Amino acid sequence: HAGDLFDSVRPTNRAITVAIEQLLRLSRANIPTIVIAGNHETPKLRETGHIFRLFDHLEHIYPVYERAEKIDLEIKGKRISIHAIPHCREKDDFSEYLKSVAPDPSADYNILVTHGAVQAIQVFKMNEFNEYIIPFPSISKGFDYVALGHYHGFTRIRNNIVYSGSTERMSFSESKEEKGIVDVKISSSTVTNFIPLPTRRMIEIGPIDCKNLGPREIVEKVREKAEGRDFKDSIVRLSLINVDPATYKSIDLSSINNIFSRAMHFEIRHSIGKEPEQIVPTDIMIADLLTEFEKFLERGHYKDKDVLLEIGKRYIRQAEGEE
């Protein structure tokens, strides 16, 4: 796994439980599994413990999160060297690992797994404040296969250098993207095949024009739009436009939530104008102050996000009495 197993430094208990259950299945089946850290689950503060420590004692599971590691495996009589470079707290460390990594000539096969935005013909960026750029020459050193994480869309940069992408859609901007896994056959020449997977449906309701409508009328409009549709296990977004702020505060949101109760995730976008702006998810979870500040920066369009993060981190520490 090439990073971002979790979406945040402090994932929910449910996410942790699911991850451990599935890794235990692999462990009990004696399947060697390498999991590197991505930028989403890597804390910026050294004193913040890494969630991957939970996996340290699972047999056949190799979590890589503090530094680059080389893992040698013997599989079907072949020696396979896995060169794993996770997202690092410090950008300079990450860059040094990329510069120094090289195939092991004594191994039958060499695989590089890392996490970041490759700078090739195009830059595979997610526009996140703490993403690292991977210069293309640093990964084109003769590895038999390069497994890349960070970019959510399946992409072959070369036949043996691949972003497998996410197995689920992570936002409505990906609603039309096909998701899946990559089957890799390594021999004298590497062959990669994309295998599509069924994914959760993403359903958009609206936009519903709420101009001159009262709270009850808005709920009825939503009910009409949703009538006869199956939302079970789907990701649903409702868009309301031209909503008077006072009217929105009076809407019975619990009634709207009940309409979409079978959805896996439901959120409302509403706006006083014609373009929905504010997103109100129904499963809000407030994290620690630093994590919330990181999320705030990530959502905005700011220059020098890393600099802003360092300044903000210093002020947060001072406010919390850590400095």
Q: Check whether residue 153 and residue 69 sit in a common domain.
A: yes
Q: Check whether residue 58 and residue 125 sit in a common domain.
A: yes
Residue 110, domain member (yes or no): yes
d(CA 239, CA 262): 18
pLDDT at 168: 85
**C-alpha torsion 152→158→160→166, nearest 10:** 10
**Domain residues for 148?**
13-196
Q: Check whether residue 261 and residue 296 sit in a common domain.
A: no
Residue 120, domain member (yes or no): yes
Written as tens digits, the pLDDT of the chain (323 aa) is 999 999 888 888 888 999 999 999 999 999 999 999 999 999 887 778 899 999 999 999 999 999 999 999 999 999 999 999 999 988 999 999 999 999 999 999 999 999 999 986 465 665 565 788 899 999 999 999 999 999 888 989 998 999 999 988 877 778 778 899 999 999 878 889 999 998 888 899 989 999 999 999 999 999 999 999 999 988 899 999 999 889 999 999 999 999 999 888 888 988 886 665 554 444 444 445 666 677 677 666 666 777 777 787 777 766 655 44
Residue 63, domain member (yes or no): yes
Q: Check whether residue 106 and residue 154 sit in a common domain.
A: yes
HEC sequence for 226-285? HCCCCCCCCEEEEEEECCCHHHHHHCCHHHHHHHCCCCCEEEEEECCCCCCCEEEECCCC
pLDDT at 250: 92
What is the identity of the amino acid at 53?
R
Q: Check whether residue 231 and residue 158 sit in a common domain.
A: no
Q: Check whether residue 17 and residue 102 sit in a common domain.
A: yes
d(CA 188, CA 168): 32
pLDDT at 274: 63
Q: Tell me which residue of 119, 101, 111, 115 sits closest to 157, measured CA to CA.
A: 119
220-234 exposure pattern, b = at least 16 Cβ within 10 A, e = fewer: ebbeeebeeeebeeb
Q: Tell me which residue of 73, 60, 63 sits closest to 31, measured CA to CA.
A: 60
Q: What angle do CA 186, 35, 195 make, to 5 degrees?
A: 50
DSSP three-state, residue 89 = coil
Residue 247, domain member (yes or no): yes
Q: Which of 196, 227, 250 is the last residue of a domain?
A: 196
Q: Check whether residue 79 and residue 147 sit in a common domain.
A: yes
pLDDT at 292: 65
d(CA 162, CA 144): 12
pLDDT at 107: 96
CB half-sphere exposure, 40, CA atoms < 13 A: 15
pTM for this entry: 0.72
pLDDT at 119: 83
219 touches 256 (CB < 8 A): yes
Residue 227, domain member (yes or no): yes
Residue 8, domain member (yes or no): no
pLDDT at 284: 42
Q: What is the DSSP letter of 123?
A: B
Q: Check whether residue 160 and residue 273 sit in a common domain.
A: no
Q: Check whether residue 190 and residue 230 sit in a common domain.
A: no
Q: Which of 173, 196, 219 is the last residue of a domain?
A: 196
Residue 7, domain member (yes or no): no
pLDDT at 152: 87
d(CA 250, CA 264): 25
Residue 64, domain member (yes or no): yes
Q: Check whether residue 82 and residue 163 sit in a common domain.
A: yes
User: Could you check whether the bond before residue 207 is cis, i.e. omega within 30 degrees of 0?
Assistant: yes
Beta strand pairing call for 109-115 and 133-135: unpaired
pLDDT at 35: 97
